[in-house]
Amino acid sequence: MTDNAPMVRFDGVRKTYGPLTVLDELCLDIARNEKVAMIGPSGSGKTTVLRMLMTLERIDGGVIYVEGEPLTHMERNGKLVPADQRHLRRVRAKIGMVFQQFNLFPHMSAMRNCMEAPIRVLGLSRKDAEARAAELLEMVGLGDKKDHYPSQLSGGQQQRVAIARALAMRPKVMLFDEVTSALDPELVGEVLNVIRKLGTEHNLTMLMVTHQMGFAKEFADRVCFFYKGRIAEEGPPQQIFVQPREERTRQFLCAVLEAG
């Protein structure tokens, strides 16, 4: 596996809910350390892409590869069969996700939220997990709040803890599912700053579904515009935001600008 191989590859991936096709033969390659923003109207399939990569949804067709290995399938005798638990967990360990609703564990302090999975899953000692958690919380600017419970933190602070928690597992790919949509406007900036910091200071492949067009334009390496389960247009932010080739892209951006 060379360094040129894509970090994540979607190969003809389909997802259906009954008669509704949410993702239609999606083909998408994401390079190592690439930052990709996914935009589009609701129901266009962009959140589904993230959730399938995080194995929260099942694939109805096609294969997802992570670092050259299939995610939900394994190779057996040269054929692809559904993956067993061991394989799944091994490949899944490379991926981390931050949710729109934060999903912090309410019965644990910020510190413990960040320590729990490293101890249980990675087998870190309490001391090491604690050190790692403290460092990450410091990085997201919440070093002094590490013993606070989620209910004592603002939305922006909770989301930053959620980011630290995901990072504690040292994933190679980080997924961000509309992570500022549930925040009051004045708290959005602090979360975006942390994400920006992650992009510059860490070697992370980042996939984000977002409505923050300004941020996407400035931060992303590539923007994918989703429409009805397919990528209608993709390219560098300059192209998508300033000179979109597709009519649908243009229409969507106009509507978003009007609303914002």
Contact residues for other proteins, defined by CB under 8 A: 54-56, 89, 92-93, 95-97, 99, 101-107, 109, 116-117, 120-121, 149-152, 162, 165-166, 169
Q: Which of 231, 204, 235, 232 is nearest to 217 (CA)?
A: 235
- CB of 230: closest distance to other proteins in angstroms? 25
- CB of 179: closest distance to other proteins in angstroms? 13
For other proteins, the closer of residues 107 and 127 by Cβ is 107
CA atoms of 52 and 188, how far apart (whole Å): 26
CA atoms of 47 and 125, how far apart (whole Å): 35
For other proteins, the closer of residues 92 and 228 by Cβ is 92
For other proteins, the closer of residues 176 and 252 by Cβ is 176
CA atoms of 224 and 204, how far apart (whole Å): 18
- CB of 50: closest distance to other proteins in angstroms? 10
Phi, then psi, of 82 in degrees rounded to 5: -55, 140
- CB of 178: closest distance to other proteins in angstroms? 13
Q: Which of 39, 30, 22, 49 is nearest to 250 (CA)?
A: 39
For other proteins, the closer of residues 117 and 253 by Cβ is 117
Q: Maximum Cα–Cα distance for the chain, whole Å?
A: 55
- CB of 101: closest distance to other proteins in angstroms? 5
Q: Which of 39, 98, 8, 67 is nearest to 217 (CA)?
A: 39
For other proteins, the closer of residues 63 and 119 by Cβ is 119
CA 5 vs. chain centroid, Å, equals 20
CA 242 vs. chain centroid, Å, equals 25
- Where does 75-184 have alpha helices with state H? 85-92, 110-117, 126-139, 155-167
For other proteins, the closer of residues 121 and 131 by Cβ is 121
